[in-house]
Every structure is written in C-alpha cells, then in structure tokens.
C-alpha cells in the first residue's frame, strides 16, 4: 500500500529540485540552445532561398548574355556588310575617277600632240621655204655667173614674158 | 581454426562467469534484505521482500553484503519534530530490532528502534514513527496510534534526484556551451547527439500539439520534463551507485510531475477551454448536469493517468528484471542462470526503449493537454 502513497518529504525535495532545475535550464540552457538552433535553421532556409534566387538570376543572366551575343553578332554582320559595300563602292568610284582622269590626260596629250604637230609642220614649211629660197639663190647665182648665161637667162625670161 | 577460436571462447565464458558472480552477489545482498522483513529464522528466499525493498525508498544506499553488517551508505535523516533534528541513518540501521505482536493477526512484526540521537524513533517499512514507551502498535501490518514524524530526510530517492539533476545540468550545460562558443553552426559531439532530441521535443511534441503560434512559451517546460524523466529513467537502469534507485517509479515523483502539468494546463487555459467544460458545444442543455461533473473530473483524470502511467511502467520494469534474476535464487541452482540471465538482459534492453518512450509520452501528453487548454474555438 505504501508503494502508491506519496511521501511528503520526497514530494518537498522533488518540488525544490524540479523547480530549480526548470528555472536554471530555462534561463541558462534551453534559451541559448533553442536560439542557436533557430538561428541556424533560419540561416539554412535563407541560404536555400538565396540559392534558388541566385539560380533563377543566373538563368536570366545567361539568357540576357545570349541575347546580347546574338545582337552583337547581328551588329557585327551588319558592320561587315556595310564595310564591304563601302569598299566596293569606293573601288567603283575610284575606277570611274581614274578612267575620267585617264581620258582627260589622253585628250590633253592628243591636243598637245596636235599642237606640236601643227608647230612642227609650220616650222617645216618655213624651213622648206628657206631651203627653197637658198636653192633658188644658188641656182640664180649659178645662172648669173657668166655673161653668156646672163644673156641666155635674160633671153629666156624675155621669151617667157613674150609668151605671156 | 579451432585453436584460434578457443581463446575467444574462454574470454566469453570468463566474462559470463564474472557477470554471474556479480549477479549472485547482488541477489545475495538483496535476499538478506528480504529476510530482514520476513522471519529471520527462515532461510527461504523472500522474492517479494527483496523486490519491494529494491523498488521502494530507503534511508540508506545499500551497496552489498547483508542488511546488518553489510556495506551501505548511511544517508542523513532530517526530522521536524519540535524543531529540526538531523542525524545519520546509521543510528537506525545499527539500532536494535524489536519484535511486537500485531494486534489483529497475532503475528510477530519487527521494527527498528533507533539508538543515540535516533532514540525514541522507530523505523518500520522505511517510515519513521515516534515510539510510545519504546513500542510501536501495529494492526494488520499498519502502524496505529503512533505519530508519523514529518520526514525531510535525504533518502535514496532524494539523493538519486540530486544525482539526476546534476547529471542533466552537466550534460546540458556542455551542450549550451558548445552553442555559445560556436554560434549557429552544425552541431558536434554531445550537441550532435542531443540536438535531435531537443528538436524532436520542440517540433513533434510542442509545435504539433500546441500549435504554431503558442508553442514557444511551453518548449522549456516540455524539454525539462522530457529530459528529467529520460535521464532519471536511464539512471534507474544503472545497477551501481549513481543509479539504481527507482526514482521515476516512485509515486511522489510522478505525482509532482503530473501536478506541474495540471498547473501549467490550468494556468494557460483560455475561455474556449472552460466553455467546452461548462457548456460543451453540441450537447443538449438537459445533459449538462451530467456532462459538467464528468468534464470537471476529466481535468483531474488526465494528469492522474500521467502519474500512474509513468509510475507503473518504471516500477514494472524494475520488478520484472528482479523477478527474472530471482529465478536462480528461488531454485537455488546457478544453472537456471542460463534461462534467467538472457531473459533479464532482454527485459533490461527493452527497458532502455521504455525509458525513452515513457519520457516521450509524458512530454507528448502534457503538450496535448496544454494544446487543448490554449486552443481557440473554430466556430
């Protein structure tokens, strides 16, 4: 029977020890342990959230990078194309300019040649005239070197004049 | 192969033999304790006496040897009887055994009359009474007519209670120190072992039974109750000195724990809780005169069940282990050890599970009752 009857003395000591234990454990032990465990759990959940967010951000960034790369490629292509066009045009232009320049030079050369030719012909003409006069002079001198010849010439001239 | 196995086998049987010797020693001591309560001429092994002696409180911590002249730690006795009186319990255990006649059954009953400072006091079934002219008057195995003295002695259970509290404080403060030193990091060592239990009490016991918003306030109480019961249950399973007392199988201890839960429940009860008791929703008004007393009794039966559950489970465990070991001494043949030792070992291991289970159940049901008291109405 006394197995199931509480003892006042033991009840007293139990109350004393348990209440002290509850107080000390709550104040100095459970609080720091629970706060550390809570803090850690919060840290872990925050880190996990951050990881998911970072992953999403990474994905978005990757997509943005790809877009940027595409745009850059397109721009590069356009620039290259433009450059090519410009180059061809420049070459064409240069060709045209060169042709007209060449034609100008050629025509100028032709004109110069014509002028030179005219001058040369004119000079030749004067030269030829001078030569002819010289020759004529020499011949005249020969004709007029002796009296006979002068007479003959005079006669002849006279005949010519007569004839006229 | 056999010559390699042989030394191992020898070692095994040596360990078994040592274990058996230890058990025999232990049971011998207990059997003489039992004889003290029965008739001293009878050499018959008193199983009931031995078991009862073991599971009840005492004013000494008996280690080994016979009851008188054996090795015991005599604990201090503190009495309040016209002032504070303190003396060693050796004055009882080294006192004289007095036989008186039971007034009803007519059988001789023995009690111990104290000597020296314990003069005038008698120890009967580990309870201290004031003697009338050196006598106790006993009727049907109970003391009648003698005043039971207010006894605040440091008994075996009180000492065990101190051990348990110190044990919890040492272990838990080392865990707390780890967290204080390292902050919010992954636990290591003792903290790694105890943190799952702490988190289990917080989440599975407190949060799931009390509710997300209100559980925080009750976690320290539930943790204290859980670890107090768990550690003391385990300590009770240790057969040598710091352990061995049947503390959590003592009705005074479980009564106090149950009162704590009752007080916490009532202190945190809200309007909705009392409404469910005095005007249970859905019950016709005509039935209320029957329902209200039932509900009021229900407030007390819940902690009462807590008290009985822990007390009965822990006491039963101790009784079974002792009874199984007693098989050897009842039959007076060591060969029975082949049956009794494995069975006692099995029950001891089972008791490890029970030690945890009962602590968990006590905390769990406490949380459930508190949860019922703080619950808001759903209407």
Helix (H, G, I), strand (E, B) or coil at B245: coil
For residue B224, the chain A residues in CB contact (below 8 A) are 18, 21-22, 25-26, 30
Picking from B209, B290, B221, B312, the residue whose alpha carbon sits closest to that of residue B262 is: B221
pLDDT above 80 (res B208): yes
For an interface test with A, the pick among B256, B257, B267, B315 (most A C-beta atoms closer than 10 Å) comes out as: B256
Does A15 map to a domain? no
Does A24 map to a domain? no
CA distance A2 to chain B (A): 9
Rounded to the nearest 5 percent, the helix, strand and coil shares of chain A are: 95, 0, 5
CA atoms of B42 and B64, how far apart (whole Å): 21
Binned at pLDDT 50, 70 and 90, residue B7 comes out as low
**DSSP secondary structure letters along B277-326:** HHS-TTS-GGGHHHHHHHHHHHHHHHHHHHHHHHHHHHHHHHHHHHHHHH
Does A8 map to a domain? no
Least confident of A62-76, A124-138, B253-267: A124-138
pLDDT at res. B41 = 43
Mean pLDDT across chain B: 85
Percent of chain A clearing pLDDT 70 (strictly above) = 98
Domain boundary assignment for chain B: 76-153, 157-374
Beta-carbon separation of A30 and B253 below 8 A: no
CA Rg value for chain B:
25
Does A89 map to a domain? yes
CA atoms of B51 and B357, how far apart (whole Å): 24
Does A92 map to a domain? yes
pLDDT above 80 (res A82): yes
Top pLDDT among A60 and B137 is at A60
Q: Which one of A11, A24, A40 has the shortest CB-CB distance to B252?
A: A11
Q: Which domain holds residue A50?
A: 43-157
In terms of C-beta density within 10 A (0-12 exposed, 13-18 middle, 19 or more buried), how is residue A2 classed?
middle
51-70 in A: which are within 8 Å (CB) of B? none
State how many domains chain A has. 1
CA atoms of A97 and A103, how far apart (whole Å): 10
A37 touches chain B (CB under 8 A): yes
Top pLDDT among B200 and B183 is at B200
Beta carbons of B91 and B117 less than 8 angstroms apart: yes
CA distance B208 to chain A (A): 17
Does A148 map to a domain? yes
Does the reported pTM lie above 0.80? no
Beta carbons of A28 and B173 less than 8 angstroms apart: yes
Beta-carbon separation of B223 and A18 below 8 A: no
CA atoms of B371 and B379, how far apart (whole Å): 17
CA Rg value for chain A:
65
Beta carbons of B89 and B77 less than 8 angstroms apart: yes
10-29 in A: which are within 8 Å (CB) of B? 10-15, 17-18, 20-22, 24-26, 28-29
pLDDT above 50 (res B293): yes
Does A164 map to a domain? no
pLDDT above 80 (res B24): no
For residue A16, the chain B residues in CB contact (below 8 A) are none
State the average pLDDT over residues B59-79.
Answer: 83
pLDDT above 90 (res B6): no
Does A116 map to a domain? yes
CA atoms of B366 and B371, how far apart (whole Å): 8
For residue A43, the chain B residues in CB contact (below 8 A) are 184
Beta-carbon separation of B169 and A32 below 8 A: no
pLDDT at res. A146 = 80
Mean pLDDT across chain A: 91
pLDDT at res. B43 = 62
Largest CA-CA distance found in chain B, in angstroms, rounded: 85
CA atoms of B77 and B91, how far apart (whole Å): 10
Top pLDDT among B146 and B178 is at B178
Binned at pLDDT 50, 70 and 90, residue A5 comes out as confident
Task: Taking each helix axis as running N to C, give the angle between helix B47-55 and helix B2-37, from 0 to 180 degrees, rounded to the nearest 10.
Answer: 90
pLDDT at res. B379 = 54
Q: Which one of A1, A25, A37 has the shortest CB-CB distance to B172?
A: A25
pLDDT at res. A144 = 77
**DSSP secondary structure letters along A2-47:** GGGS--HHHHHHHHHHHHHHHHHIIIIIIHHHHHHHHHHHHHHHHH
Residue of B nearest to A36 (CA): B184
pLDDT digits 0-9 by tens, A122-148: 999 999 999 999 998 888 788 777 888
């Amino acid at each position: 029977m006394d197995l199931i009857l509480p003892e006042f003395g033991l009840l007293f000591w139990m109350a004393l020890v348990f209440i002290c234990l509850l107080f000390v454990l709550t104040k100095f032990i459970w609080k720091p342990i629970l706060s550390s465990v809570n803090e850690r759990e919060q840290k872990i959940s925050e880190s996990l959230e951050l990881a998911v967010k970072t992953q999403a951000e990474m994905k978005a960034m990757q997509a943005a990078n790809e877009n940027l790369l595409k745009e850059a490629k397109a721009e590069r292509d356009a620039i290259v194309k433009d450059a090519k066009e410009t180059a061809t045009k420049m070459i064409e232009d240069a060709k045209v300019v060169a042709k007209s320049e060449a034609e100008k030079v050629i025509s100028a050369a032709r004109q110069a040649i014509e002028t030179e030719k005219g001058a040369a012909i004119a000079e030749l003409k004067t030269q030829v005239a001078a030569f002819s006069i010289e020759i004529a002079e020499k011949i005249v001198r020969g004709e007029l070197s002796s009296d006979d010849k002068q007479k003959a010439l005079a006669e002849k001239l006279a005949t010519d004049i007569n004839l006229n | 192969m056999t010559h390699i196995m042989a030394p191992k086998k020898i070692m095994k049987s040596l360990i078994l033999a040592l274990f058996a010797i230890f058990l025999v020693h232990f049971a011998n001591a207990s059997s003489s304790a039992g004889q003290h309560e029965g008739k001293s001429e009878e050499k018959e092994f008193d199983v009931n006496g031995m078991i009862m002696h073991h599971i009840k409180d005492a004013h000494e911590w008996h280690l080994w040897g016979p009851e008188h002249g054996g090795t015991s730690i005599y604990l201090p006795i503190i009495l309040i009887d016209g002032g504070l009186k303190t003396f060693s319990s050796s004055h009882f255990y080294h006192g004289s055994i007095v036989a008186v006649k039971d007034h009803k059954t007519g059988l001789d009953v023995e009690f111990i009359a104290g000597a020296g400072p314990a003069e005038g006091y008698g120890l009967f079934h580990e309870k201290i009474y004031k003697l009338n002219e050196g006598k106790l008057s006993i009727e049907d195995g109970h003391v009648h007519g003698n005043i039971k003295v207010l006894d605040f002695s440091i008994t075996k259970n009180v000492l065990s209670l101190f051990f348990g509290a110190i044990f919890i404080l040492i272990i838990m403060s080392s865990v707390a120190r780890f967290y204080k030193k390292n902050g919010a990091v992954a636990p290591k060592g003792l903290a790694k072992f105890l943190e799952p239990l702490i988190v289990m009490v917080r989440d599975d016991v407190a949060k799931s039974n009390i509710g997300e918003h209100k559980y925080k306030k009750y976690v320290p109480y539930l943790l204290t109750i859980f670890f107090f019961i768990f550690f003391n249950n385990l300590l009770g399973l240790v057969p040598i000195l710091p352990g061995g007392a049947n503390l959590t199988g003592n009705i005074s201890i479980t009564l106090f724990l149950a009162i704590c839960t009752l007080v916490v429940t009532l202190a945190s009860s809200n309007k909705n809780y009392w409404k469910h008791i005095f005007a249970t929703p859905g019950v016709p008004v005509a039935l209320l005169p029957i329902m209200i007393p039932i509900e009021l009794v229900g407030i007390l039966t819940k902690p009462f069940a807590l008290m009985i559950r822990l007390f009965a489970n822990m006491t039963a465990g101790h009784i079974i282990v002792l009874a199984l070991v007693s098989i050897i001494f009842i039959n007076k043949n060591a060969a029975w050890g082949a049956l009794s030792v494995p069975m006692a070992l099995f029950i001891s291991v089972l008791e490890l599970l029970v030690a945890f289970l009962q602590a968990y159940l006590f905390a769990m049901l406490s949380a459930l009752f508190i949860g019922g008291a703080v619950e808001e109405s759903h209407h």
